[in-house]
Amino acid sequence: MIHEVEMIANEHCGCGENPLWDEMHQCLYWTDIPAGRLFRLDAVSGEWLRIYDGSLVGGFTLQEDGNLLLFRDHDIALREDGAEVKVLLADFDQETGRFNDVIADPRGRVFAGTMGEDGSGGVYRVGANLEVAKVQSGTNCSNGQDFSLDLKTYYWSDSTARRIYQFDYDVETGEIAGRKVLLEVPQEWGINDGLTLDSEGCLWVAFYGESAVRRIAPDGAVIETIKMPVSDVTSLIFGGSDWDELFITSAGGKDGSNTQDGALFRMRPGITGRASFRSKVMAL
């Protein structure tokens, strides 16, 4: 199947990441990690604006009340619309690197990946009262995460190991166990980066360095490969009024350049997605 890939916003992001659809306001958020910037695209008008400048944001979630929960360099902060950013948890685990790619789970906890050196990165589970538990370790670059349709499986993209793992997941406790390899990524595919699930239970995975997005079946088989107009594809999420649009971020942009590197893209893959879960961290 041939898909038309459309560039819809170009902020020349050094590392565009963590696209997140807000179905209540029909808008998309994304971050340029090294620049410490957040953007919001109005899907109706097609206009976008910068809504945050500050410490780098490695990932973020939408809270139940619509505010943004920011996972920054080494802190967790709350951004209320139109208000200053409030730090909720400072000096987060200085032995690991910055946050990278986070996701809310069905009960409002957050699974937050980190980067690091010599295997110091991993995944942390952050609870409603900011209680923190490290649930995966041993990576230099934690990436995309999601949950199966039946909420019994947690998926994790470990870029360092070049693997996508699946775990048994307990939705009530947030515990994960029984790690298995879903996909071993060949060298020529580039690096497995962000991922998201569609309405048929298949994973859509961004491949950094190889200009591609792939649809992966629950058994690990590759269903489809879509070529992208840029090399460094970073992450993706379903959105749109009917959940039939796939928004895709990229990296490698430089201010003042005339390339599409670092731009935000959209395509209609012929399959729908679902709403992202919302976090309930420090919610009243």
Give 276's contacts (C-beta < 8 A, 6+ positions apart). 20, 21, 61, 62, 103, 104, 237
Confirm whether 273 is domain-assigned.
no
At 91 the pLDDT is 86
pLDDT at 256: 84
Tell me the C-alpha distance between 26 and 45, whole Å.
10
CATH number for position 25 = 2.120.10.30
Domain count within the chain: 1
Q: What is the DSSP string of 163-231?
A: EEEEEEE-TTT--EEEEEEEEEPPGGG-EEEEEEE-TTS-EEEEEETTTEEEEE-TTS-EEEEEE-SSS
Whether 114 is covered by a domain: the verdict is yes
- Active-site option among 32, 193, 232, 261: 193
Tell me, yes or no, whether 274 lies in a domain: no
Beta bridge partners of 249: 235
Residue at 105 is within a domain: yes
The whole-number pLDDT of residue 95 equals 78
pLDDT, position 284:
58
Q: Which domain holds residue 182?
A: 6-267
Per-residue model confidence (pLDDT) at position 170: 98
67-113 residue pLDDT tens: 999 999 989 999 987 778 999 999 888 778 899 999 999 999 999 99
Q: Could you confirm whether 193 is annotated as catalytic?
A: yes
pLDDT < 70 positions in the chain: 1, 284
